[in-house]
Amino acid sequence: MKRTMLGLCFSALFSCSLSAQTMDFDFSNRTLNKDLPSASGLVVNNNQLFAVGDDSPWFYQLNDDFTIAQKDLIKEYPVRDNGRIVKKVKPDFEALDNIQINGKPAFILIGSGSKLDVREWAFIISHDQELKIERSLKPLYKNLRTAAGYSADQEINIEGLATSEDSAFVINRGNGGSNVIFEIPLETFHDYLVGTLATVSDVKAYHIELPVVEGFEAGLSGAEYWKEDDSLVVTASIEATGDAYNDGEILGSFVGVVKLDDLDTDKTVDLSANLLPLLENGKRVITKIESVAFTKQSNNKLAGVLASDNDDGTSEFFNFTLSR
């Protein structure tokens, strides 16, 4: 088991803030899965772990050892011999969460939006498999760009989704634009997904500053809502790339906590000292964490799973605990 502590100063990664709250972060059971490509979204439902890959047409249920227990086809896509969706048409499923749709518990999968039309879709699948909705996110993503104040050459790259009792938090990775956490009223988000709203105007945009490694800023890659702490647990990773479409050299990953009360639309929220780097023997773990899901949570401690996309058609999974 590997441990890192926020109160220590990793000068090669970022400057520590003296006001940062100390947290303990442990991870273990680093497991490679060669049968699930490009893991990008995780969620727990009834103590079962579910996952999606950004270039896989399948929705996966996983065993405790991260092997595949079951998989269900999301939609027919053209795939290569290795089973991965052809890149030019891949929907780029990057976020996964639980949501109530028309009173039914359901999974929601959303694309990154990093390629117009192709990657601007959501799929809602009820837990009992009786309801399935495919919904364009094009109008929503246009509104997110506006809320973020993006210029014409900045890109949306949605990587995570977390829901509280009254809000949906849409997580944008800043390798094409900037790191932003968008907040949308949950009822509004629901009505858009089921088609009773054509557009979403009530969007708050929280700009986020993250650690820099070798000249590249980390990018938000996932989130989960910690109810007891009223906060978001976020993941971030660093790639040596300046756009949202092409992969780059993986430089490391982080996990951290941001209190919802600290989010501010009027100023950039600096999380540089609130993120914990994944380290082994004092060195960065070269893995691209994409998502986080909780298996247990209390007022001051979490247990859960991290998923990593290795950009080579394989995925890695880690168990973790975080306490404060």
Residue 309 domain-assigned (yes or no): no
Quote the CA–CA distance of 172 and 206 in Å, as a whole number.
10
Q: In terms of C-beta density within 10 A (0-12 exposed, 13-18 middle, 19 or more buried), how is residue 186 classed?
A: middle
Residue 75 domain-assigned (yes or no): yes
Quote the CA–CA distance of 260 and 231 in Å, as a whole number.
5
Name the pTM for this structure.
0.91
Quote the CA–CA distance of 69 and 176 in Å, as a whole number.
35
User: What region does 273 belong to: left with phi over 0, alpha with psi -120 to 50, or beta?
Assistant: alpha
Residue 110 domain-assigned (yes or no): yes
Q: Classify residue 273 by its DSSP letter.
A: T
DSSP per residue over 38-107, as a string? SEEEEEEETTEEEEEETT-SEEEEE-TTS-EEEEEE-----B-TTSPBPGGG---EEEEEEEEETTEEEE
Residue 124 domain-assigned (yes or no): yes
SS3 35: coil
Distances, alpha carbon 221 to alpha carbons 110, 127, 187, in Å: 13, 25, 24
**Residue 248, pLDDT score:** 67
Quote the CA–CA distance of 196 and 96 in Å, as a whole number.
22
Quote the CA–CA distance of 292 and 279 in Å, as a whole number.
17
**Residue 2, pLDDT score:** 38
Quote the CA–CA distance of 254 and 4 in Å, as a whole number.
11
Q: Where are the alpha helices (DSSP H) in the chain?
A: 138-148, 186-194
Six token digits for residue 21: 């709250």
CATH code of the domain containing 208: 2.120.10.100
Residue 36 domain-assigned (yes or no): no
pLDDT digit string (tens) for the chain, length 324 residues: 333 433 333 333 333 332 345 789 999 999 999 999 999 999 999 999 999 999 999 999 999 999 999 999 999 999 999 999 999 999 999 999 999 999 999 999 999 999 999 999 999 999 999 999 999 999 999 999 999 999 988 999 999 999 999 999 999 999 888 999 999 999 999 999 999 999 999 999 999 999 998 888 999 999 999 999 999 999 999 987 655 445 668 899 999 999 999 999 999 999 988 899 999 999 999 999 999 999 999 989 999 999 998 788 899 999 999 998
Residue 168 domain-assigned (yes or no): yes
By residue range, what is the domain housing residue 172?
Answer: 44-274
SS3 227: helix
Tally of domains within the chain? 1
Residue 307 domain-assigned (yes or no): no
Taking the alpha carbons of 122, 100, 159, 65 in that order, is the dihedral positive or negative? negative
Residue 31 domain-assigned (yes or no): no
Quote the CA–CA distance of 153 and 14 in Å, as a whole number.
28
